[in-house]
Chains A and B, each alone.
Chain A
């Protein structure tokens, strides 16, 4: 009795093993029939973080039945819900490849899962090749840089669009990148660092975006196009710089005016009052108080630029503001007595000297 029972037991065990093997094989084909815990280990042998959301990546990449796994894991459901917008982008290409790549570009936090994700992508890429037949380079580039994954993914999607309509290459790429701006912003650093870096101080997003564009289309761009892009960057840098410097100058000039108006040495010149044009010419034409036009050989009469001492009731003018200073200078350089007195009256009125007296 023992032998039959032992044989039955062995048969039962064997059958259960075979069933479990069959179940495992079916699980590798469809995740919908697989309980959550054993699935990653069975689908991806190298996964060390099988409990992470990345475990959902293979399932979503393999079929559209990922919703079933999303019902089992909240993290995976959030991932899949973010990816729900991507199909519209990926519809023009193969669904399986763009699903996996869009996930890679959506969540930079998932870059830690790239060890398991990249092989999956690789596994997918042949399929993509079989569909589009032109994405071999994209598939090869995946393992090189986890950050570049999203970048390349974007370019894959875009380039497939370009192949449909190559005339709109750069414009469509911009559209693609802006859709995936989250992923591209971080991945752009890696790309641009391989070039000359981000050139703009204050326009980081634009600069990064343009850097990505450049990196992606570098191979396709002609030298003239590249020069145009660099020139554009330079121009934007000028704009930023100009805005910065002009605001700084305005601030500095306001402070300078507030610090006191009376300039030593006549004060009319003012420090940096103008732009980079030679102010000297203008100032020379306005005949400042201290300057005397002289011939080369002989000194000409200095009366031409003579200044006239202010009346006794006029104070030193150390606290004059800009208008008062101009009035003072005009009065001091006015040779006509009547006009000079009128200017001093105006100065008195403006500064309130007359009222005090």
Chain B
């Protein structure tokens, strides 16, 4: 009798463990608390406001995990890599903590602070960005990964019309940027950063004059050697040109604004549907995995009980457990098939959005490249004039 009890105990324990294993799953905690973007309460003088340039994000296609490859659409990633930085630029601009904040069409125009990023994940439910910040001296501020998992509440129309579903993520980036600046960058450094940005821009147009003003230290950081006179005629001209460079960048912002507005509706719709599909998919995958584990454990336990059982009851119990395990495994396959359907739905959704967004991305790129080309051509001519002016003025000396 004792042996039977012991076997039954073991069997029960194994089955319980199997069920626990199948029931065990990870739960994502989603916060619905809105983190606002913080505006610096200090009255910062305008000449101490740093200008921020945000580079087009890296779509992160090389970093897509194997498990997400099937559900990640590359073209949507590319579209997001232009959408997300624009929202970040708007957030930073709204914060009032910075000078001009612009999405940069290229890295040709030096800005005081440069923010670059990589889209690591974006499926409507979770967004993950890796953000790197540096300044014009070449000093890296920080690199940090920002994740946000949102709830269905974020897609509620009342919420949606106020914020992007992942606005908290952008707010967190803006708040970190402000915190870093306030903690680590002194006013003196801000002046240096701004000066270096200006001289770097001047180098682009008149390297023969302005190359001598900056040097690089061993770590690759740029340092000021000397400064041109405030009324240096070439510097004055370069400042005029820089004003026009800002105008050009502003024009590109309008392109991006149009792009974002065109993209927003279909993209939001896709994100919301993708959110549901992703949730379902993850739930089904986890359910299938649990069932496989539980079923396998039950089958093993059942088979062990049936083979080792010394009496009829334990053998029957073992067979029953093995049967239950087999059923669990079968239902796991069913769940997996169901998950596959959701995956296909996701792919279809992605394809649909891709068809809508791809022409917009191409149009945006075309217009940006065309405008940049025209502007660069004009810049080239100005460069020549500045070189001639320099030669004339040096000859005069």
- Taking Cβ atoms with an 8 Å cutoff, the residues of A that contact B are 195-201, 223-224, 226-227, 230-231, 233-234, 237-238, 240-242, 244-246, 248-249, 252-253, 255-256, 259-266, 268-272, 274-281, 283-285, 288-296, 299-300, 302, 305, 307, 309-310, 316-318, 332
Contacts and interface: CB of A to CB of B under 8 A. Distances in A.
Contacts of B167: 264-265, 290
Interface of B: 36-42, 46, 49, 86-87, 89-103, 157-158, 160-164, 167, 170-171, 182, 237, 240, 243-244, 246-258, 260-262, 264-265, 371, 374-375, 377-378, 381-382, 384-389, 392-393, 395-396
Nearest to B103: A271
Nearest to B252: A272
Contacts of B249: 272
Contacts of B40: 296
A266 B392 contact: no
Contact of A284 (B86, B96, B170): B96
Nearest to B183: A296
28 contacts: A200-B381, A223-B396, A226-B392, A231-B237, A234-B389, A249-B251, A249-B254, A252-B251, A259-B258, A261-B261, A264-B87, A264-B167, A265-B91, A266-B162, A271-B260, A272-B249, A272-B250, A275-B250, A278-B100, A280-B93, A280-B100, A281-B96, A288-B94, A289-B162, A291-B37, A291-B39, A295-B41, A302-B36
Contacts of B261: 256, 259-263
B366 to A, nearest CB: 13
Contacts of A299: 38
B101 A280 contact: yes
A337 to B, nearest CB: 18
Q: Which of A198, A271, A288 has the most CB of B within 10 A?
A: A271
B163 A265 contact: yes
Contacts, number: 219
Contacts of B42: 296
A275 B247 contact: yes
B96 A283 contact: yes
Given A199-B384, A265-B163, A280 B262 contact: no
B41 A293 contact: yes
B98 A280 contact: yes
B165 to A, nearest CB: 9
A270 B253 CA distance: 9
B158 A309 contact: yes
A248 B368 CA distance: 11
Given A201-B381, A242-B247, A266 B258 contact: no
A302 B240 CA distance: 41
A290 B36 contact: yes
B392 A223 contact: yes
Contacts of A283: 93-94, 96
B381 A237 contact: yes
Contacts of B262: 259-260
Nearest to B258: A256
A237 B385 contact: yes
Nearest to B367: A252
Task: Report whether over half of chain B's contact residues are helix, strand or loop; otherwise say mixed.
Answer: helix
B125 to A, nearest CB: 18
A304 B317 CA distance: 68
B37 A290 contact: yes
Contacts of A288: 94
Nearest to B170: A265
A337 B232 CA distance: 57
A313 B171 CA distance: 30
A230 B385 CA distance: 6
Contacts of B244: 238, 241-242, 245
B171 A290 contact: yes
A294 B39 contact: yes
A252 B94 contact: no
A293 B39 contact: yes
Contact of B371 (A233, A242, A248): A248
A277 B240 CA distance: 14
B257 A270 contact: yes
Nearest to B49: A278
Given A242-B244, A278-B99, A332-B162, 17 more contacts: A196-B384, A197-B381, A198-B381, A199-B384, A223-B395, A230-B389, A263-B261, A271-B90, A271-B253, A272-B257, A276-B243, A283-B94, A288-B94, A290-B94, A294-B41, A309-B158, A316-B161
B389 A280 contact: no
Nearest to B157: A316
B393 A223 contact: yes
Given A265-B87, A290-B167, A280 B94 contact: yes
Nearest to A283: B94
A227 B91 CA distance: 45
Question: Top 9 closest A-B pairs, CB basis?
Answer: A284-B96, A272-B253, A271-B257, A252-B254, A276-B246, A223-B396, A292-B36, A259-B261, A256-B258
A271 B246 contact: no
A227 B254 contact: no
Contacts of B252: 272
